[in-house]
Amino acid sequence: MKESFRDRKNAFSYTMDFYHVVQQLWKSAAAWLDGRTTQARRWFGWARHRLRHGNPDGVLADLVDALEVEGLPDTARDTLRRVYA
Protein backbone atom coordinates (compact mmCIF):
# COMPACT_ATOMS: atom_id res chain seq x y z
CA MET A 1 0.00 0.00 0.00
CA LYS A 2 1.28 3.42 -0.91
CA GLU A 3 2.16 5.74 1.94
CA SER A 4 0.11 8.93 1.92
CA PHE A 5 1.62 12.38 1.97
CA ARG A 6 0.13 12.96 5.43
CA ASP A 7 1.83 9.81 6.77
CA ARG A 8 5.17 10.91 5.35
CA LYS A 9 4.67 14.43 6.70
CA ASN A 10 3.89 13.07 10.19
CA ALA A 11 6.94 10.80 10.11
CA PHE A 12 9.10 13.75 9.04
CA SER A 13 7.68 15.94 11.82
CA TYR A 14 8.37 13.23 14.39
CA THR A 15 11.93 12.84 13.14
CA MET A 16 12.58 16.57 13.23
CA ASP A 17 10.99 16.89 16.67
CA PHE A 18 13.08 14.00 18.00
CA TYR A 19 16.30 15.53 16.70
CA HIS A 20 15.37 18.90 18.16
CA VAL A 21 14.71 17.28 21.54
CA VAL A 22 18.01 15.42 21.34
CA GLN A 23 19.81 18.66 20.57
CA GLN A 24 18.28 20.24 23.67
CA LEU A 25 19.13 17.13 25.67
CA TRP A 26 22.81 17.50 24.74
CA LYS A 27 22.69 21.13 25.90
CA SER A 28 21.45 19.82 29.25
CA ALA A 29 24.21 17.24 29.53
CA ALA A 30 26.85 19.75 28.52
CA ALA A 31 25.62 22.32 31.04
CA TRP A 32 25.07 19.90 33.91
CA LEU A 33 27.89 17.39 33.46
CA ASP A 34 30.39 19.41 31.40
CA GLY A 35 30.16 18.25 27.79
CA ARG A 36 33.84 17.33 27.67
CA THR A 37 33.43 14.48 30.15
CA THR A 38 32.77 10.81 29.61
CA GLN A 39 29.97 11.07 32.15
CA ALA A 40 28.14 13.66 30.01
CA ARG A 41 28.46 11.52 26.87
CA ARG A 42 27.37 8.39 28.72
CA TRP A 43 24.30 10.08 30.27
CA PHE A 44 23.38 11.64 26.94
CA GLY A 45 23.52 8.23 25.19
CA TRP A 46 21.36 6.66 27.89
CA ALA A 47 18.86 9.53 27.81
CA ARG A 48 18.65 9.57 24.01
CA HIS A 49 18.00 5.82 23.98
CA ARG A 50 15.24 6.18 26.58
CA LEU A 51 13.55 8.97 24.62
CA ARG A 52 13.80 7.14 21.32
CA HIS A 53 12.01 4.17 22.85
CA GLY A 54 9.27 6.25 24.48
CA ASN A 55 10.53 6.19 28.07
CA PRO A 56 11.11 9.81 29.07
CA ASP A 57 10.34 9.49 32.80
CA GLY A 58 13.88 8.69 33.95
CA VAL A 59 15.30 11.42 31.74
CA LEU A 60 12.93 14.03 33.15
CA ALA A 61 13.63 12.85 36.71
CA ASP A 62 17.38 13.26 36.11
CA LEU A 63 16.84 16.80 34.81
CA VAL A 64 14.82 17.68 37.91
CA ASP A 65 17.51 16.16 40.14
CA ALA A 66 20.18 18.11 38.29
CA LEU A 67 18.41 21.35 39.12
CA GLU A 68 18.93 20.52 42.80
CA VAL A 69 22.70 19.97 42.53
CA GLU A 70 24.46 22.22 44.99
CA GLY A 71 27.00 24.52 43.41
CA LEU A 72 25.55 24.21 39.90
CA PRO A 73 26.35 27.45 38.05
CA ASP A 74 23.40 29.72 37.36
CA THR A 75 24.00 29.46 33.60
CA ALA A 76 23.77 25.65 33.78
CA ARG A 77 20.65 25.88 35.93
CA ASP A 78 19.05 28.27 33.39
CA THR A 79 19.86 25.86 30.55
CA LEU A 80 18.32 22.94 32.43
CA ARG A 81 15.18 24.94 33.19
CA ARG A 82 14.77 25.91 29.52
CA VAL A 83 15.16 22.32 28.40
CA TYR A 84 12.84 20.92 31.05
CA ALA A 85 10.11 23.50 30.44
Give which of 58, 54, 67 is closest to 28, Cα–Cα.
67
Domain boundaries, the chain: 20-84
pLDDT at 39: 94
d(CA 85, CA 81): 6
Using the predicted structure, report yes or no on whether residue 41 has a pLDDT greater than 70.
Answer: yes
pTM: 0.74
Average pLDDT over residues 36-51: 94
pLDDT in tens, 4-36: 545 555 554 555 588 888 999 999 999 999 888
Using the predicted structure, report yes or no on whether residue 69 has a pLDDT greater than 70.
Answer: yes
pLDDT at 2: 54
